[in-house]
């Protein structure tokens, strides 16, 4: 089934909002085994929208439009698609009642909010359309079928679009699609994209079904294994041998095979499994590492104390870095990172402590220690390990890399992977 995405909204063209809907819908279409060849963004202009919809219907079996279903005059998606397909608009009594109930409930929290006449515009639907209830807003979604073509209209706000697609559109499309794409993600840290590409070159050259594709992220590489199958059970069976082979090749550097699991979640799960308490001592990352950890639900079971020791005084006072260390080798040094980690364990009573100290720039670098120099220390089971890193990029990029590599380093220290390296 050839599918096309059309995102409606001048605000997208102007860059006022990021078009996350297309990325989401592309992924969902891929899971359904749909052939997605085109994506278009069109502004709130009636003639240009007509042209875009007509062209899409000529070359695709199904078009999915997002946005432009609201109550204002520039919300034209429904009207334009109905006109192109030759379908008249009629009021849907069910949608009218839902809008009325939604607005009445909203008014309870905001007495100044009134139902204006333009809201009823959203209750007008093309005759014969499948109406998709919107549990999170007033604009219903629509499925229009005519002359062997299908147009699916979805509201623009992601918190309305995603549940509507997953609960109502996905089952509808699944029935129309004989095959699906089943995919699994293998997430790897501590190995660069070029090295991974070299180590899986033979798999890529000989692939048929399933296929493997690498995606580089900051400090990580994700390998997506995708199989075309008649159902999920067959897809899992096809993917399983390739996942097993990747585990043999990359071992403990694989931190997850669950697409939803992040690196910080993998670290928190590891700490829980080992029944370990974590503390952090941060300098150049300024609490960003702790923020990643506490993003994980249940992190309080393993993380109790974090120190942001941005100044030398804070390093000395809070985690007992020696004055002589700061005077002789400085805060950005192997010795300081070691003392920060050891002092963090002592000050917090944690089982493991990770420290980060470095030069994020743009100033502060020297010939011996250029911008991007970062030292990390990990104190675990009475032993302190230290790694030296040299990152590139601007201040934000260096800090981002520091956080990701720190999470990977912490994981390695607990699993013993650093010793194997």
pLDDT in tens, the chain (421 residues): 899 999 999 999 999 999 999 999 998 998 888 899 999 999 999 999 999 999 999 999 999 999 999 998 899 999 999 999 999 999 999 999 988 887 777 677 766 766 677 888 999 999 999 999 999 888 999 999 999 999 999 999 999 999 999 999 999 998 888 788 889 999 999 999 999 999 999 999 999 999 999 999 999 999 999 999 988 899 999 999 999 999 999 999 999 999 999 999 999 999 999 999 999 999 999 999 999 999 999 999 999 999 999 999 999 999 999 999 999 999 999 999 999 999 999 999 999 999 999 999 999 999 999 999 999 999 999 899 999 999 999 999 999 999 999 999 999 999 987 654 3
Q: Is 204 helix (H, G, I), strand (E, B) or coil?
A: helix
**Where in the chain do CATH 3.30.70.2860 domains reside?**
180-256
Sequence-separated (6 or more) residues with CB below 8 Å from residue 171: none
Do 140 and 131 contact (CB within 8 A), yes or no? Answer: yes
Q: CATH second-level architecture of 180-256?
A: 2-Layer Sandwich (3.30)
The model's pTM: 0.75
- Write the CATH number of the domain with boundaries 263-420: 3.90.950.20
Q: Would strands 373-380 and 303-308 be described as parallel, antiparallel, or unpaired?
A: unpaired
In DSSP notation, 209-260 reads: SSEEEEEEETTEEEEEEEEEESSHHHHHHHHHHHHHHHHHHHGGGEEESSTT
- Show the tokens assigned to 258: 């669950």
What does the DSSP 8-state code read for residue 165?
A: I
Element (H, E) at 89: strand 89-91
CA–CA separation, 4 and 59 (whole Å): 9
CA torsion, points 365, 366, 368, 373, in degrees to nearest 10? 0
Among the four given CATH numbers 3.40.980.10, 3.40.50.620, 3.40.50.360, 3.20.20.140, the one describing domain 2-176: 3.40.980.10
């Amino acid at each position: 089934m050839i599918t096309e995405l059309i995102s409606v909204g001048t605000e997208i063209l102007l860059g006022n909002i990021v078009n996350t809907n297309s990325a989401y819908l592309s992924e969902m279409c891929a899971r359904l085994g749909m052939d997605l060849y085109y994506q278009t963004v069109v502004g709130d202009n009636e003639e240009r929208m007509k042209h875009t919809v007509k062209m899409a219907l000529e070359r695709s079996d199904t078009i999915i439009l997002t946005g432009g279903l609201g109550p204002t005059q520039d919300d034209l998606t429904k009207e334009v698609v109905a006109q192109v397909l030759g379908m008249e608009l009629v009021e849907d009594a069910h949608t009218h009642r839902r809008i009325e109930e939604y607005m009445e409930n909203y008014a309870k929290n905001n007495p100044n909010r009134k139902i204006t006449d333009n809201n009823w515009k959203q209750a007008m639907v093309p005759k014969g359309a499948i109406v998709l209830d919107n549990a999170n807003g007033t604009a219903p979604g629509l499925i229009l079928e005519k002359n062997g073509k299908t147009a699916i209209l979805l509201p623009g706000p992601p918190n309305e679009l995603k549940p509507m697609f997953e609960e109502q559109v996905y089952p509808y499309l699944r029935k129309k699609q004989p095959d699906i794409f089943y995919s699994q993600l293998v997430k790897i840290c501590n190995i660069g994209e070029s090295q991974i590409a070299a180590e899986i070159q033979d798999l890529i050259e000989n692939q048929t079904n399933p296929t493997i594709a690498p995606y580089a992220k900051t400090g990580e590489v994700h390998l997506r294994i995708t199989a075309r199958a008649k159902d999920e059970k067959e897809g899992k069976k096809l993917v399983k041998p390739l996942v097993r082979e990747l585990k043999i090749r990359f071992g403990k550097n694989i931190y997850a095979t669950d697409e939803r699991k992040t690196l910080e979640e993998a670290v928190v799960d590891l700490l829980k499994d080992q029944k370990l308490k974590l503390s952090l001592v941060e300098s150049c990352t300024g609490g960003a590492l702790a923020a990643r950890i506490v993003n994980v639900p249940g992190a309080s079971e393993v993380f109790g104390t974090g120190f942001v020791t941005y100044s030398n005084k804070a390093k000395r006072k809070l985690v007992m870095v020696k004055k002589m260390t700061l005077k002789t080798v400085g805060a950005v040094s192997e010795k300081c990172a070691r003392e920060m980690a050891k002092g963090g364990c002592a000050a917090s009573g944690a089982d493991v402590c990770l420290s980060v100290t470095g030069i994020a720039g743009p100033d502060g670098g020297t010939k011996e220690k250029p911008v991007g120099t970062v030292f990390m220390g990990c104190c675990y089971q009475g032993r302190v390990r230290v790694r030296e890193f040299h990152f590139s990029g601007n201040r934000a990029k260096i800090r981002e890399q520091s956080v990701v590599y720190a999470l990977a380093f912490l994981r390695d220290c607990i699993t013993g992977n650093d010793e194997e390296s």
